[in-house]
Amino acid sequence: MDRKSFIKTGIAGGLGLSLAPSIATAMEQSDKEPLKIAMVKEFVIAGHFNLDKVKNMLEDYPNLIYSRYDWGNGDFEEAIEGAAHKGNKEIANYLIEKGARVNLFALTMLGKTTLVKPILEAYPNLIFSKGAHGLTLLHHAEIGGKESEELFNFLQTKGLTKKQIKLN
């Protein structure tokens, strides 16, 4: 073996050894069974209005907190999004405390003006984004009540007039 081949083999071997733990972890994770779609749907529905059920299901299946259900045509929804568009602050806050992936729609419903406004000012087109079921930030600000009133007015001054936009 010449020097060039020896170096290439050494580098390739070293790289392979350094990647082995990552590859093994990925293979272990792919062996896990996915959550049942019916259970994900049940959890997302509970996220709209049933805190006790959300708590019980999360106790048994903690990763449900990250799951999304597809209602069809790419209309994906997480439990926190159901709580947000129904104005259920108790469930939304509980899910956030448990580590849910929070988004602008939930933050808007909760009236988190100091978080939402800077994001929308940095990315103005997000004002027109669609949440679950095509519900807009304006809907979430309205359903949030008094705490979201400032955001409701802000969104309207930025040109958002629709509370729901049809999903294509």
138 and 76 inside one domain: yes
For residue 168, being part of any structural domain is answered with: no
Confidence band, pLDDT 50/70/90 cuts, at residue 168: confident
The CA distance from 21 to 71, in Å, is 37
For residue 167, being part of any structural domain is answered with: no
pLDDT at 13 over 60: no
19 and 49 inside one domain: no
CATH of the domain at 97: 1.25.40.20
What is residue 31's predicted lDDT score, i.e. its pLDDT?
A: 79
Q: What are phi and psi of 33, to 5 degrees?
A: -75, 140
Structure confidence by residue, pLDDT tens digits, 37-50: 999 999 999 999 99
Confidence band, pLDDT 50/70/90 cuts, at residue 9: low
Structure confidence by residue, pLDDT tens digits, 60-116: 999 999 999 999 999 999 999 999 999 999 999 999 999 999 999 999 999 999 999
Domain count, the chain: 2
The CA distance from 120 to 125, in Å, is 8
pLDDT at 14 over 60: no
What is residue 69's predicted lDDT score, i.e. its pLDDT?
A: 98
Residues of the domain holding 94 = 37-157
68 and 141 inside one domain: yes
pLDDT at 32 over 90: no
Which amino acid does the sequence have at 139?
H
151 and 96 inside one domain: yes
The CA distance from 86 to 84, in Å, is 5
pLDDT at 29 over 80: no
What is residue 6's predicted lDDT score, i.e. its pLDDT?
A: 55
Q: What percentage of the chain carries pLDDT values higher than 70?
A: 82
Mean pLDDT of the chain: 90
What is residue 94's predicted lDDT score, i.e. its pLDDT?
A: 98
Residues 85 and 133: beta-carbon distance below 8 Å: yes
Over range 55-61, report the average pLDDT: 98
User: Residue 70 forms beta bridges with which residues?
Assistant: 76
